[in-house]
A and B are shown apart, each in its own frame.
Chain A
Amino acid sequence: MNENLKFIQGNEFCVEAALYAGLDFYAGYPITPSTEILEHMAKRLPEIGGKFLQMEDEIASLCAIIGASLTGHKVMTATSGPGFSLMQEALGYAIMAEIPCVIVDVQRGGSSTGIPTHVGQGDVMQARWGTHGDHAIIVMTASNHQDVFAITVDAFNLAETYRTPVILLFDEVVGHMRERIFIPAKGEIPLVERLRTSVKKGVDFHPYLPREDGRLPISDFGEAHRYNVTGMVHDMWGFPSDNPKIAYGLVRHLVDKIENNTDKIARYKEYYLEDARTILISYGSAARSALHVVENRRSRGESLGLLELQTLWPFPYSLVQEKCADAKYVVVVEMNAGQVLQSVKICVDRPERVFLANRIDGVFITPTDIRNILRLIEGKGV
């Protein structure tokens, strides 16, 4: 038996990936369907000398990892929609203070407390705009366990590269499903380590003065330098400022550091797009049903293709436009009322040719659901 061959849940695999990426601090509050992440962390972190904290609620969880990150640790917390709602305040703070961290939202069905044990993908827009004010954010997802691993490691790398929170938007099916996976060997996936300042102790350190390449070196909080961290608009010292020039520069910096790198942050997979007349666009577990339909129809000679998005925000507008340029029809497959559909319609040349195959009842979307929409589009009736 191969030691690296495992048959475990997506949630547990996400934990293994986080540890692979170098995580050594986790704080969280349990909620279905993300609880296995917390449980597995509670078991694994003490084994490697890391710290695990169960907090009193979700805001505290995110605040705890923000603090730990500032002191130099790689950190993560996990929740589901209701808990993610509570985290929005601290999320805005982490974006403003530019603190690297990873937040996993294992989506359940419905809004509010919804259907805890069922599946949904309704948090796409919340992940983008849940916290107030102008900002940019990185949101990633995956449809199978091998990708959950790669994307989770990637999330830590991007958090360090851009000094930003990264949101992993998984869902109940990916989180709870068990499937065969291989844990990558050490070194197989490159890791991005924290960029620390070279400014010596006793020398003035400007915590919010970006280098020429836009990156912002950190001084581990509590070590060599004293500095201020705030959620308010701040100058290069980290002190609150109402200077319009500084405010303008800061907002532009926060948005541009991510949106100007949309191409670099975009992760996706494509299947049979070269000659596809109809293109399905999907993400997360829904992409599994979409791929099922595509493989099935390809084997019968029909020209169907799939674009599986793994980066949802910043939305890869030009990528989607380019891939869909020659398609007669585009069908967005998702488990919400059309949240990615809107972004696709914005960027394709003919938005009237974009359709939605979805489910919003907490039931996992089936290949038949997608086939029914395809038949309607093709004028064949259901």
Chain B
Amino acid sequence: MERHRLVFSGSGGQGIITAAVILAEAAVLYENLIAVQTQSYGAEARGGATRSDVIISDSAIYFPKVIQPNILVCLTQEAYNKFNPIIRPGGLLITDTRYVKTYMKVDAQQRELPMYQTVMDNIGTSIVFNMCMLGALIGITDLVKSESIINVLKTSIPSDFLEINQKALDLGIKMGNAYK
């Protein structure tokens, strides 16, 4: 298997780290892969730039950070401005149309998706924005199966919120599949 290096970036409170953890956990617990997840953030609980790195592989991972991601997700303009130059040539860049105005042509597949808008139109709350993003990501890349993600959700979030998370994931997958 090719080694996947992902960087999720955005602002504190958007659920970036949660999404990264859920993806890596799905790969490890349900797909028998090896993964490492790290994060960097400021001292504040909300706001501030947030970044989470995930490496998924089938062989041992020593250095746990990502220098050049082949998948980069930017959910704020600040994150996009800061991280768009580090993408690996031939990689995949996912941004949200509501928050990010792209201005650079990068040597990568560039996908500007209306994830926030779709979640607001169909579900009406932004708390599951991150699940829609994760859905779009696996919709495009088939990195892990959606059932693996749902298995993790079942054990890690309160059952009252399972349905809207699953709905947001499905919306994302549908959006991502269009770019397969």
**A→B interface (CB under 8 Å):** 1, 5, 7, 32, 116-118, 173, 176-180, 285, 288-289, 291-292, 295, 364, 366-368
Beta-carbon nearest neighbor of B35 in chain A: A180
Given contacts A178-B36, A179-B35, contact A7 B43 (CB under 8 A): no
Name the interface residues of B9-39: CB closer than 8 Å to any CB of A: 21, 24-25, 28-30, 34-39
Name the interface residues of B56-88: CB closer than 8 Å to any CB of A: 61-65, 67
B63 and A7 contact, CB distance less than 8 A: no
**Cα-based distance from A314 to B7 in the complex (angstroms):** 40
B42 and A117 contact, CB distance less than 8 A: yes
Q: Which residues of A contact B37 (CB under 8 A)?
A: 177-179
B36 and A176 contact, CB distance less than 8 A: no
Beta-carbon nearest neighbor of A174 in chain B: B64
- A-B CB proximity, top 3 nearest: A292-B63, A292-B62, A178-B37
Further contacts, 19 of them, CB under 8 A, given A1-B29, A179-B37, A180-B34: A1-B30, A5-B29, A7-B21, A7-B29, A7-B35, A32-B43, A117-B41, A117-B42, A118-B40, A173-B38, A177-B37, A177-B64, A178-B37, A178-B38, A179-B64, A285-B64, A288-B64, A295-B62, A366-B67
**Nearest Cβ on chain A to B60's Cβ, whole angstroms:** 8
**Cα-based distance from A250 to B34 in the complex (angstroms):** 50
Q: Which residues of B contact A292 (CB under 8 A)?
A: 62-63
Q: Which residues of A contact B41 (CB under 8 A)?
A: 117
The winner among B24, B30, B40, B42 for most chain A CB atoms within 10 A is B40
B36 and A179 contact, CB distance less than 8 A: yes
Q: Interface majority SS on A: helix, strand, loop or mixed? A: mixed
Q: Which residues of A contact B42 (CB under 8 A)?
A: 117
Beta-carbon nearest neighbor of A294 in chain B: B62
Number of A-B contacts (CB under 8 A): 56
* Pairs across A and B, CB under 8 Å, 20 listed: A5-B28, A5-B29, A7-B28, A117-B40, A173-B64, A176-B38, A177-B37, A177-B64, A178-B36, A179-B35, A179-B61, A180-B34, A285-B64, A288-B62, A288-B64, A289-B63, A292-B62, A364-B64, A366-B67, A367-B63
**Nearest Cβ on chain A to B137's Cβ, whole angstroms:** 18
Interface size class of B (residues with CB under 8 A): 20 to 34
Beta-carbon nearest neighbor of A143 in chain B: B62
**Cα-based distance from A1 to B31 in the complex (angstroms):** 9
Q: Which residues of A contact B43 (CB under 8 A)?
A: 32, 116-117
B25 and A7 contact, CB distance less than 8 A: yes
**Cα-based distance from A32 to B40 in the complex (angstroms):** 13
Beta-carbon nearest neighbor of A285 in chain B: B64
Beta-carbon nearest neighbor of A362 in chain B: B40
Q: Which residues of B contact A366 (CB under 8 A)?
A: 63, 65, 67
Q: Which residues of B contact A173 (CB under 8 A)?
A: 38, 64
Checking A32, A176, A285, A367 against B39 with a beta-carbon cut-off of 8 angstroms, the contacting residue is: A176
Q: Which residues of A contact B28 (CB under 8 A)?
A: 5, 7, 180
**Nearest Cβ on chain A to B48's Cβ, whole angstroms:** 10
**Nearest Cβ on chain A to B98's Cβ, whole angstroms:** 27
**Nearest Cβ on chain B to A261's Cβ, whole angstroms:** 31
**Nearest Cβ on chain A to B93's Cβ, whole angstroms:** 23
Q: Which residues of B contact A7 (CB under 8 A)?
A: 21, 24-25, 28-29, 35
**Cα-based distance from A368 to B29 in the complex (angstroms):** 31
**Nearest Cβ on chain B to A85's Cβ, whole angstroms:** 19
Q: Which residues of B contact A289 (CB under 8 A)?
A: 62-63
Q: Which residues of B contact A368 (CB under 8 A)?
A: 67
**Cα-based distance from A114 to B41 in the complex (angstroms):** 15
**Cα-based distance from A200 to B64 in the complex (angstroms):** 55
Beta-carbon nearest neighbor of A180 in chain B: B28
**Cα-based distance from A295 to B28 in the complex (angstroms):** 23
The winner among B29, B38, B43, B62 for most chain A CB atoms within 10 A is B62
**Nearest Cβ on chain B to A283's Cβ, whole angstroms:** 14
Beta-carbon nearest neighbor of B22 in chain A: A7
Q: Which residues of A contact B63 (CB under 8 A)?
A: 288-289, 292, 366-367
